[in-house]
Every structure is written in structure tokens, then in C-alpha cells.
Amino acid sequence: MKYQDVRNFINGEFVSCDNKRMDVDSPLTGSVISTVPLSSYHDVDLAVNAAKNAFPAWSGMTSKMRSQILYNYRQLLEENVEMLAAIIHDENGKTMDEAIAEVRKSIELTEFACSIPQIAVGEVLEVSIGVECRTEYAPLGVVACINPFNFPHMVPHWTVPNALALGNCIVVKPSELTPVTTTKMAEMLKQAGLPDGVFNVVNGAKDVVEAICDHPEIKAVSFVGSTPVAQIVYRRATSNLKRCLALGGAKNHLIVLPDANLELSAADIAASMCGSAGQRCMAASVMIAVGNVNPIVEKLCEEVLKFIPGKKMPPIISRQSRENLVAYITEAEKNGAVLLVDGRQFSNDEQADPNGYYLGPTIIDWRHTDAKMPYQEVFGPVFEIISAKSVEEAISVQHESPFGNAASAFTQNGAIAKMVAQNASAGMIGINIGVPVPREPFSFGGWNASKFGAGDITGKSSLGFWSQLKKVTSKWAKQEITDWMS
């Protein structure tokens, strides 16, 4: 096997456990590259105890001291971009360019966390004569984060650096499909000087997630994954009186007008739907064509063919997911949709392994049928086109989606762009941009069934999630002049 068997990381050490193990396949080749333990409540309990023991010393450091360790870690990331990207490429399948971009994003997220001492400074005010009130950000204690397969490095960096900078100790649960990357994260945090027990990793699947939601010592849980699981996690964690922020799936709508810039729109939409083989929660999923946008659709069909599977486009994460996508395309065709580009028939790059889980880009046109496009998340390089008679109708169609991660407008008309931005029911809006991910210091988070819980998962908006405000009111001397609250 290319990689050692994955082990849990508890109290600064990789530990073996007797649990059943699961194979980790590379979607590039379909072959086993490692194995991962399916841990239990007992393993979560060990990790929580390590985190709890580490908490007094870690939370007792100043935030400037903690951020020095994150600066060291950021430097290690910078020195190891290629090595980390190669692991992501192997276990997730994304292209090396995409994997490098993912690590670079993790660096940006770590830089934000390094700046927390400059941001989370609290406030002070003399509230009555001789009486001062000040606030400070106090950590919560032991917290946990549960991750999906599609960004095995970036998504843990949405949460871990900020949670650590604010003084928490953490238990991380990677996706069982992509656990090797998090192993490297553990090694590098230790190398950066993070004290033992502050960062722990427990591998596995449903049992580990349930143990995290149930463990009485875990104060807050972040989750990123599909909507059905986000709902389960949110309900279970909050019913156990924990804070929870659970990000779910998406189906992102693009409202496209005939005046949109042809070249820019087609290239951006193609890159959005095909990047990471459409396995991004911000990927373009549905075009709502307002009027005749056929030139843009034709150009889009040309552009997507540049995303050759195995060269510019990665495989699907698993054989099963690929089969689900093929079934979705076949069902759409049976229901009268027209396949403008059919990803079931494609040519791989000659370098690509024929056993990899590849699928070509697919464009499904529903415009000429009465059948309604299903509102489920597809999560692959599959783009659907529907139509609306007006921008108002397009916005109301977007509102019918249960999700609300991203929505975009493609137009040269500023007033229409503003109308879409104001009225679309989504947390992240793009104007002539296919992947409207807000970069630091702006925060990331959707609406509706794309997110359960308050606040966003990154940026300033996340600081409140990983901390609690302490209010200190003090008086040191009797004043000659007083007021009604002195």
C-alpha cells in the first residue's frame, strides 16, 4: 500500500486500536492505498480526556503565544505544499493544481487565525463613575469538528486554527474516505510546537460522529457534509445541549441573461461545474436562462469539453457515487431532458488509469420539457438548464430550492445584478463569478438547508462560535462624585 495504515492521534501520539478497519481507495486507480480504523465511543473518550487535560495550560497561554505556534505551522504548510497536495491528489483524486490551490487556501485560513490576537481584543468602557466594564473572549474547552471528503485539507482549516487560536482543545473526525491528509496535519501541528493533547484525531464513520454528539465533555461541534447528515448531527448535538454549526449540501443557481459577457460567462460556468469534478458545495449546478441565452449555452458546451477526465478533471470519489451520477443522468433523459453534453460517453486522458472513477462533464437541458428538474443535490460534473420568462420568475424558482449556499447573476446590467443579490435566498452571491467563495476576512456560510446553526464557519463570524464572552465589571476606589450606578 502506498500509505501506512491510518491511526488515531491522541495526546500527541499516533495510537493503534483493535477496531475493524476499512480500505481507503484512490479514485484515480480504484486501488487500495491505505486502511482506516472505524473507531468507537471509547476512542473518542480517550481523545476528549487528552484534550481536557491539555486545556488548562493551552487556554492559560496568551493568544499571542498561541498564534506564534500557528505562525510556525503556517510556515510548515508553505514548505510542504507539494507534499500535501500529492496526498490530497491520491486519496481524493483532485488534480495536482486543484490540490495545491486547496493547500494554499488552508494557508490563508491559518493566516487569519494568526491575526486573531489583533481581532479578538475585547472592549473596555467606564460605564459608571469609577466603574469599568470589559469583555474578553474566553474559550469553550473541548470542541470537535467533523469533516467531509471533498476538501480533506481546507475544511479542517476552516475550523481548527480559529478554534485553537481562541484557546480551545479539539477532536477532529476526518472523512473515512480521505483520512491520510489529516494525519499529516497532526504531524505538522506537533512539529510546529503544539502541546500534546491540544489537537486529536479520531478516525471512523457514523459511530464516531454519534460519540462526538453525545460526549458530555464536548462543548461545541462543527460539521460539514451532506444535508441529511447535517440535520442528524445538528439535532443530536443540540439535544445534548451543545453548540452546533452544521453545514450541509447545495444546489447552486445561476441566473443568466442574454447580455452576459459570452466568453467570461461560459469559461467561468465551465470551471465552476467541472472543477473538482463538480464535487464542491459551491459548484454551479443549475442555469436559469432568462430569455435566449443559446450563444452562452453553446459556448459552455465547447468549454466543458476542455475538462478532459484524468487531465483537467478529476475522478468521482467512489465507484458508488459515480454509479449514482450515471443513474441520475439516465433518469433525466428518460424524463424528457436533452443531454447537450453526455458525460457517460467520454474519452479519458491517455495517462489516466482506466480503473479510475471518471465521468465526463454533463449538461442536461430541461427547457423543452414539462418535467421538473429534481431538487436534489447531484454532486458531480452535472449541470442542468431550466428557463424563466423574467428575472422575478428566476428568483422565485431559485427560492423553490431547499438549499441556499450560493446563487449568481450573469449580466452586464447592474440593476439586475443588484436585484438578484438582494432577493436570492442564498448566503453567498456571485455577480459574473462561478464560484463566489468569500475570501478571508469575509466569512463562509450558506442559508436554508445548506446550514443549520447561527453564524458562519470562517472569518470574523466564526469567532463567536468558538468562544464565549466574559464580562468583567470592576470598581477599585470610592469616588467623590458618583452617579446612579456607581
Write down the least CB distance from residue 174 to ligand NAD, Å. 7
Write down the least CB distance from residue 247 to ligand NAD, Å. 4
Q: Which amino acid is at 202?
A: V
Helix or strand run (H / E) with residue 279 = none
Write down the least CB distance from residue 348 to ligand NAD, Å. 24
Write down the least CB distance from residue 35 to ligand NAD, Å. 15
Q: Which residue has the cell 463570524?
A: 461
Q: Which residue has the cell 514548505?
A: 79
Write down the least CB distance from residue 458 to ligand NAD, Å. 10
Write down the least CB distance from residue 152 to ligand NAD, Å. 9
- Tell me whether residue 23 or residue 79 sits nearer to ligand NAD (CB atom): 23
Judge whether 54 and 169 are in contact, CB under 8 Å: yes
For this structure, is 114 an active site residue? no
Cα separation, 328 vs 333, whole angstroms: 9
**In 192-293, which ranges are continuous DSSP H helix?**
206-214, 227-239, 262-274
Cα separation, 287 vs 252, whole angstroms: 9
How many residues can be counted in the chain? 486
Helix or strand run (H / E) with residue 139 = strand 131-139
Q: Which residue has the cell 476606589?
A: 477
Binding site for ligand NAD (CB under 6 A): 146-151, 155, 173, 175-176, 205-206, 209, 224-226, 229, 232, 247-250, 281, 377, 379, 405, 446, 450
Which one is catalytic: 169, 213, 281, 301? 281
DSSP string, 447-475: EETTEESSS-SSTGGGTTTTEEEEEEEEE
Indicate the SS3 state at residue 134: strand
Phi/psi for 350 (5° steps) reads -65, -20
Cα separation, 229 vs 226, whole angstroms: 6
Active-site residues: which are they?
Answer: 281
